[in-house]
Amino acid sequence: MREYTNPVWDGYFADPFVLRAGGRFWAFGTGGGEHAQELIGLVSDDLVTWEPHGPVLDPATVPDGRPHHWAPEVIEHEGQYVLYYSAGLYDTGHRIRAAVSDHPGGPYRDQGVDLTAGEPFAIDPHPFRDEDGTLYLFYCVDRLEGERVGTVVVVDRLVSPTQLAGEPRPVVTASSDWQLFLAGRSMYDAVHDWYTCEGAFCVRRGGRYWCLYSGGNWQKESYGVAAASAPHPLGPWTEEPGDLPTVVRTTPPTIGPGHASVVTDDDGQDWLVYHAWDVGGEARRICLDPLDWTASGPVCRGPSAEPRPAPAVRDLG
């Protein structure tokens, strides 16, 4: 029996997304760094043994003055691959961008378009194709209305791979104390207790759509993954408030698991792919654990740090 142990790659790899394409598994994530953060890529034949590939973005096409690139995700569209990411300067001015490649591993050519030009801040794009072929983009923006102001998850229809319909609908807003990012945070010329819901990923299971998202402060142990559900990608989305993340949360030595994606193995088992801090807080690294579907929603059998049976991977064709 093949086994694996988390993390499945030792380097810094935040916001992991995994695409199965071209006979292999392609992982995309956010790199470390202070003055610039590049998108980084890994490739695997079995989900547990990874090696670097890249560059992810064609450097000749990246936007000037916005060297911090975050949270890439990819979808196949009409024989090409479209990568969505945000670009900004440190934690300001981020907008959603799109880049295109003929190969799943890239390099991806930025298309020169800000998909969210009307938003002061937009991050964490997640493209989703419904069963009827309609494309949607889940992403995160700042909102100053409601009892808990902060970063929220919205969804909009993609009228083309590089254009949104311009009608974002609410998906997840903060409803619990565990989603607090920072009390007394200076934002938009005021001071707020700032809440954060981010890192959305949508799947359809059991006749409903499920949005997995991360909440809280990505630097803290309270950071974790929860889920909302809806009868349609545009909602209405509902969630039972809780005092803790419901899908996966800190279990030492794994700290602050979050920003997850879902991949399915050849036995039909879903796997949650997520990042988590090491105990020393040196890096966020890519991890995975089985994701089960219960009567109340998705629950991850993790985070794990001990050897476990590996995903079933037999036919990558």
Catalytic positions are 15, 198
Tokens of 280: 């020393």
> Quick one: residue 47, left, alpha or beta (phi over 0 = left, psi -120 to 50 = alpha)?
left
Q: How far apart are CA 8 and CA 43, in angstroms?
A: 12
- Is residue 16 a contact partner of residue 31, using CB atoms and an 8 Å limit? no
Q: Rounded to the nearest 10 degrees, how much is the dihedral formed by the CA atoms of 102, 57, 84, 142?
A: -170
Q: How many other CB atoms are there within 10 angstroms of residue 173's CB atom?
A: 22
Q: What are phi and psi of 88, to 5 degrees?
A: -160, -170
Phi-psi region of 91 (alpha: psi -120 to 50; beta: other; left: phi over 0): alpha
Could you tell me how far CA 204 lies from the centroid of its own chain? 16
- What tokens were used for 309? 């049976």
Cβ-proximal residues to 45 (8 Å cutoff; 6+ apart), any chain: 24, 25, 313, 316
- Inter-CA distances, 70 with 148, 165, 194, 289, Å: 25, 23, 20, 23
96 near 13, Cβ under 8 Å? no
Residues paired with residue 202 on neighbouring β-strands, in sequence order: 211
Q: Is the previous residue joined to 67 through a cis bond, with omega within 30 degrees of 0?
A: no
